[in-house]
Amino acid sequence: MCYAIPGRVVAIDDAGVATISYFGELRKARNELEGLEPGHFVYAQGGFVIERLQEAAAQEVLSVWKESFFDLRAEDLRLSLLPVEERGSPEVARILKKASSGVAPDDQEAVSLLSLDNEAELELLYKTANFLRCRFQGNSCCIHGILEFSSDCTRSCIYCGLSEQNRGLLRYRMSAEEIEAAAIAAIDGYGFKALVLQSGEVTGQPLEDLIAAVAAILRKRAVLIIISPGEIGREGLEELYRAGARGLLMRFETSDAELYEQLHPGCTHEERLETLRTAIEIGYFIITGSIVGLPGQSAESLVKDIRLAAEGLNTAMFSFGPFIPHPDTPLANHPVCGEKEMLKVLALIRILYPEQGPVLVTTALETIDPGARGRGLLCGANSLMLNATPEEYRKQYSLYPGRAHAETSIQEQVEAAIGLLRGLGRAPTDLGIFLQ
Query: What pLDDT does 406 receive?
Result: 86
Mean pLDDT over the full length of the chain: 93
Q: Are strands 321-322 and 41-45 parallel, antiparallel or unpaired?
A: unpaired
Residue 434 banded pLDDT, cuts 50, 70, 90: very low
169-217 pLDDT per residue, tens: 889 999 999 999 999 999 999 889 999 999 999 987 789 999 999 999 9
Q: Which residues of 330-353 are buried (b: 16+ CB within 10 A; e: fewer)?
A: bbeebeebebebbbbbbbbbbbbb
Q: What percent of the chain has pLDDT over 90?
A: 81
Dihedrals phi, psi of 53, to nearest 5 degrees: -115, 150
Q: Are strands 7-12 and 41-45 parallel, antiparallel or unpaired?
A: antiparallel
Dihedrals phi, psi of 271, to nearest 5 degrees: -60, -40
Q: What does each C-alpha distance from 359 to 12, 62, 345, 371, 417 come to in angstroms?
A: 28, 26, 10, 17, 16
Q: Which residues of 417-430 are buried (b: 16+ CB within 10 A; e: fewer)?
A: beebbeebbbbbbb
Average pLDDT over residues 23-42: 92
Average pLDDT over residues 60-64: 86
pLDDT surpasses 90 at 119 = yes
Contact by Cβ (8 Å): 166, 196: no
Residues forming a β-bridge with 11: 19
> Mind listing the domains of the chain with CATH numbers?
7-78 (2.30.30.140), 137-423 (3.20.20.70)
pLDDT surpasses 90 at 254 = yes
Query: What pLDDT does 430 receive?
Result: 63
Beta strands in 190-243 (DSSP E): 194-199, 224-228
Average pLDDT over residues 222-241: 96
Average pLDDT over residues 271-280: 98
Query: What pLDDT does 3 receive?
Result: 61
297-316 pLDDT per residue, tens: 999 999 999 999 999 999 99
Alpha-carbon span 402 to 67, nearest angstrom: 39
pLDDT surpasses 50 at 421 = yes
Residues forming a β-bridge with 225: 195
Query: What pLDDT does 130 receive?
Result: 98
Q: How far is CA 347 from the centre of its chain?
A: 15
Query: What pLDDT does 144 receive?
Result: 92
Non-local (6+) Cβ contacts of 258 within 8 A are: none
Average pLDDT over residues 103-107: 97
Alpha-carbon span 133 to 77, nearest angstrom: 10
Q: Is 332 helix (H, G, I), strand (E, B) or coil?
A: coil
Contact by Cβ (8 Å): 176, 216: yes
Average pLDDT over residues 397-410: 88
pLDDT surpasses 70 at 110 = yes
Q: What percent of the chain has pLDDT over 70?
A: 97
pLDDT surpasses 70 at 1 = no
Query: What pLDDT does 2 receive?
Result: 45
Query: What pLDDT does 203 receive?
Result: 82
45-58 pLDDT per residue, tens: 888 999 999 999 99
Alpha-carbon span 238 to 248, nearest angstrom: 12
CA atoms within 13 A on the CB side of 81: 8
Query: What pLDDT does 436 receive?
Result: 35
